[in-house]
Chains A and B, each alone.
Chain A
Amino acid sequence: MSASACSHASLELSLPSELGYEVIARDAIAAFARRLSIPDERIEDLKTVLCEVCVNAMEHGNSLNPGLRVQIFCRFEDERLVVEVLDQGVRQYTSGARPLSIGEKVAGRGSLRGMGLLLISQLCDEAGFVPWPGPGNRFRFAFHRQPGHDLHG
């Protein structure tokens, strides 16, 4: 994709809150990222992050109500792929308490679940909830086309 085309590149998807649809979104957005020349290794990271964010929106935001939608907005700006995932906010959720380590989980000190936000924070260049008048939760993450790219350099 040319530099000019990249500057206008965007993609929008809308999914029901049913587990499995995140894989369809993942494949579409991975194809979009390839067109933007995001490196293959980073696309693997993107796929994992996107699925985790979508599943959180389906499970925690929309309480797996298939009638509620998860919307995904992707755009390429400032040499980075920015993805926003919105749910319809049956309930608000945040990263909340400190996630348990695997040692604590194995020792039975809490739920075995809850590794999703850890993966998200470790794999992408930017991630977090975006203040939003709502209703719903709005989570944004970004991958730089070149790792370590300084947005303001």
Chain B
Amino acid sequence: MMLEDELTVSTRERDGVAIIDLSGDVTTFAEEKINNAYREVTSKGARNVLLNFRQNDYINSAGIAILIGIVTEVTRNDQKLAVSGLSQHFQKIFRMVGLAQYAEIYQDEQEALAAFKAQA
């Protein structure tokens, strides 16, 4: 029996920011979906990328490894990365593993978009 959880990943653009919406569990099963979404927005010329988490009850170290991979690509491509929508617990986890050094953490999408705009 496979217990793979559904992660829904979608992309959109708002105020010049490429938003990748992530709804569901971020685990090893998420790798292809997240990487494909990042490649898609990058191929369209995204300079600012927002990972917008929604209802994420489970982000494990394998999922964090995928996000570190995105950080690596963002650094290589000279893009800006931010994250929003994380629960207080996962904000703590992101700070603990050092992801916050590479991606600003915002409470929600609005706050992140305002910050991108202020930096422009």
Per the bound structure, the CA–CA distance linking A112 and B61 in Å amounts to: 10
Q: Are B97 and A118 in contact (CB-based, < 8 A)?
A: yes
Within the complex, which residue of B4, B25, B61, B102 is in contact with A113, where a contact is CB–CB below 8 Å? B61
Within the complex, which residue of B3, B72, B97, B101 is in contact with A108, where a contact is CB–CB below 8 Å? B72
Give the residue name and chain of the A residue nearest to B98 (CB).
A102
Q: Are B3 and A115 in contact (CB-based, < 8 A)?
A: no
Is B116 close to A, CB under 8 A? no
Chain A residues bordering chain B, tally (CB within 8 A):
30
Q: Are B71 and A115 in contact (CB-based, < 8 A)?
A: no
If the complex has contacts A18-B3, A108-B72, are A115 and B65 also in contact, measured as CB distance less than 8 A? yes
Q: Are A19 and B29 in contact (CB-based, < 8 A)?
A: yes
Is B37 close to A, CB under 8 A? no
**A94 contacts which chain B residues (CB < 8 A)?**
none
Per the bound structure, the CA–CA distance linking A123 and B98 in Å amounts to: 15
Is A116 close to B, CB under 8 A? yes
Pick 14 A–B contacts, CB within 8 A, sort by A.
A19-B28, A19-B29, A23-B58, A44-B87, A44-B89, A55-B60, A55-B61, A103-B98, A103-B101, A106-B68, A112-B65, A112-B69, A115-B68, A115-B97
If the complex has contacts A102-B101, A102-B102, A106-B102, are A115 and B61 also in contact, measured as CB distance less than 8 A? yes
Is B96 close to A, CB under 8 A? yes
From A45-53, A81-89, A128-136, A142-150, the one touching the partner chain is: A45-53
